[in-house]
Structure 1
Amino acid sequence: MSEAGEVRGVDVDDETRCAHYDSESDVVAIRFGCCGTYYACFECHAALADHPPEPWPTARRTEPAARCGVCGADLTATEYTSTDACPNCEARFNPGCAEHYHLYFEWIDAADSD
């Protein structure tokens, strides 16, 4: 398991943007079900982890699974997937991230994230 404050990734900045996704609104890190570690994105997990990715499990959907890179608030998967901004600091999240929800969350399939 990762340390609570750590977000892993390739060239991660202070607000969790990485080498793969670095727009103004790319400010969310995702916790992976396989290791419990926060990564800036699925590509960062692929580049740095020594194991295949597993999405956050359905049974744990009410546990912290996303982190706002602006204020550091931890959000449950349900909270994160049902909003377009951080409920704590109102930082806007990239709406394009929804296209990857099926990679991050077990109960969302690719058809749901179109």
Structure 2
Amino acid sequence: MSEPIVRGVDVDHATRCRHYRNDRDVVAFKFDCCEEYFPCFRCHQEVTDHRAVPWPRDRFDEPSVLCGVCLAELTVPAYLEADYRCPSCDAAFNPGCEAHANLYFETGSNEN
């Protein structure tokens, strides 16, 4: 199986981008509109020509979150239940991503 591709602006080997570069910014999110991984919603805005569509609730059983450290693909529930750590490699995830959760997956409070 091939390594997932992460699109964005200045994306490094651990999925950090121009917009989010701290040591915990090591996740990428798949958007429903294009089924591609991006480090953040800003990268999606900059490199695509369409509106971002968050991962839908009815697909939460499909992997849509990528750990940039070990490349484990997680479902939304696994990501949310992981307490900001990769369940595969224990890499720390940025808790600040929660502020943008509605941009990455349906949370019940999407304002797009």
- Same-fold status (TM-score > 0.5): yes
Give 1 or 2: higher strand fraction.
Answer: 1
For 1:109 and 1:79, the matched residues in 2 are separated by 20
Show the counterpart of 1:14.
13
Structure 2 unmatched runs, 5+ = none
SS of the equivalent of 1:67 reads strand
The CA deviation string for residues 27-77 of structure 1, in whole angstroms up to 9 with x for no partner, is 000000111000010000000011100000010001001000000000001
- Give me the identity figure in percent: 50
Query: TM-score by structure 2 length?
Result: 0.92
Distance 1:64 1:4 in 2: 14
* Shift in Å, 1:109: 2.0
For 2:32 and 2:23, the matched residues in 1 are separated by: 26
**Structure 1 portions without partners, runs of 5+:** none
Match of 2:60 in 1: 61
SS at match of 1:98: helix
How many corresponding residue pairs?
Answer: 108
Native 8 Å contact 2:16 2:22 kept in 1:
yes
Q: Report the Cα distance in structure 1 between the residues aligned to 2:60 and 2:15, rounded to whole angstroms.
A: 22
- Cα RMSD over matched residues? 1.3
